C-alpha cells in the first residue's frame, strides 16, 4: 500500500507540474507570437516561452538555451546552441556587440523605443563570404523568457539585416512585462563565397559586326545626301 501511495503521489506531482507548465506558457507568455520579432521584414519561424527561465541567470542550463532547446529540436541539426551576444538590462541606443564565435564575424546592435518595443540588427563584417545560420532571439522579462527562432537565416557578405521586437510576455500578476535582458544564440553556421557579378565582355566578332554596321549606316547616309536634288 505504501508503494501504491508513493507512486500515486509521484504521478500526481508530475501531472500537476505538466499542467502548471502548460498553464504558465498560456498565461505568462501573454499573446506572444512569431511576428513579435522580425528580421528583414519577416517574422520568426518558431516561438517558445519558458516560465522562470532566464538565459543569463545563475541556474541557466545548456548554456542558457535550456528554455527552448528541446522545442526547437525539430529545426536544423542536433548541434547545441552557442550564446554569441548578450545584452544587459541597461542596453539601449544601438549598443553594439561584435563576435567571432563559431567562426563568424558578426555585429549585433540593440535599441529600445520603450521597455516593450525596439529594434535590432545583425551585420556580417566578412566582405568575402555570405553566412547562413540558425539564430535565436531570447528575451527575458517578467517571470520568463520568450525565444524566437530564425531558421537558416542568410546574411550577405558585408550586409546588414534590420529587425524589430515587441515583448508581449506578462508579469506574475498579469501586467505587460518589460525587457530585462537579451541573449542571441546561434548554431549550424556555414559560409559561401561572395561572387561579384561580372559584365560579359563582347567577343571580337561582335566588335567587327558593330563596326561594319556603323560603316554601312554612314555609307547609306552619304548616298541619301548625294541623291537629294539641288533645287526644289
Q: Give the tens place of pLDDT for each residue, 7-47.
A: 434 343 334 333 334 455 558 899 999 999 999 999 999 99
Scored b (16 or more CB within 10 A) or e, 203-223 reads eeeeeeeeeeeeeeeeeeeee
Does residue 212 register a pLDDT over 80?
no
Over range 113-127, report the average pLDDT.
98
Using CA atoms, how far apart are residues 155 and 164, in angstroms rounded to an integer? Answer: 16
Please say if the pLDDT value at position 113 is more than 50: yes
As given in the structure block, the three cell numbers for residue 210 are 558593330
pLDDT at 105 over 60: yes
Give residues with Cβ within 8 angstroms of 37, minimum separation 6: 43, 44, 137, 139, 148, 163, 164, 165, 166
pLDDT at residue 221 in the model = 64
pLDDT tens readout for residues 55-80: 999 989 999 999 999 999 889 777 89
Mean pLDDT score across all residues of the chain: 84
Mean pLDDT of 214-226: 63
HSE-CB of 52 using CA atoms within 13 angstroms? 6
pLDDT value of residue 174: 93
In terms of average pLDDT, the best of 8-17, 72-81, 122-131, 218-227 is 122-131
* Residue 81, C-alpha cell as written in the block: 546552441
Amino acid at each position: 500500500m505504501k508503494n501504491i501511495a508513493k507512486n500515486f503521489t509521484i504521478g500526481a506531482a508530475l501531472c500537476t507540474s505538466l499542467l502548471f507548465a502548460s498553464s504558465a506558457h498560456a498565461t505568462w507568455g501573454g499573446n506572444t507570437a512569431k511576428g513579435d520579432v522580425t528580421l528583414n521584414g519577416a517574422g520568426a519561424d518558431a516561438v517558445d516561452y519558458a516560465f522562470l527561465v532566464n538565459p543569463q541567470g545563475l541556474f541557466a542550463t545548456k548554456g542558457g538555451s535550456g528554455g527552448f532547446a528541446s522545442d526547437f529540436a525539430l529545426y536544423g541539426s542536433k548541434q547545441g546552441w552557442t550564446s554569441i551576444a548578450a545584452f544587459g538590462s541597461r542596453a539601449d541606443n544601438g549598443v553594439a556587440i561584435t563576435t567571432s564565435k563559431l567562426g563568424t564575424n558578426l555585429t549585433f546592435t540593440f535599441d529600445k523605443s520603450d521597455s516593450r518595443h525596439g529594434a535590432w540588427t545583425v551585420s556580417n563584417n566578412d566582405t568575402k563570404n555570405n553566412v547562413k545560420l540558425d539564430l535565436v532571439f531570447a528575451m527575458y522579462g517578467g517571470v520568463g523568457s520568450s525565444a524566437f527562432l530564425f531558421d537558416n537565416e542568410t546574411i550577405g557578405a558585408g550586409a546588414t539585416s534590420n529587425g524589430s521586437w515587441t515583448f508581449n510576455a506578462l508579469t506574475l500578476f498579469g501586467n505587460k512585462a518589460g525587457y530585462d535582458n537579451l541573449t542571441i544564440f546561434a548554431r549550424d553556421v556555414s559560409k559561401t563565397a561572395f561572387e561579384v557579378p561580372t559584365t560579359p565582355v563582347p567577343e571580337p566578332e561582335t566588335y567587327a559586326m558593330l563596326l561594319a554596321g556603323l560603316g554601312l549606316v554612314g555609307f547609306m547616309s552619304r548616298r541619301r545626301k548625294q541623291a537629294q536634288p539641288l533645287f526644289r
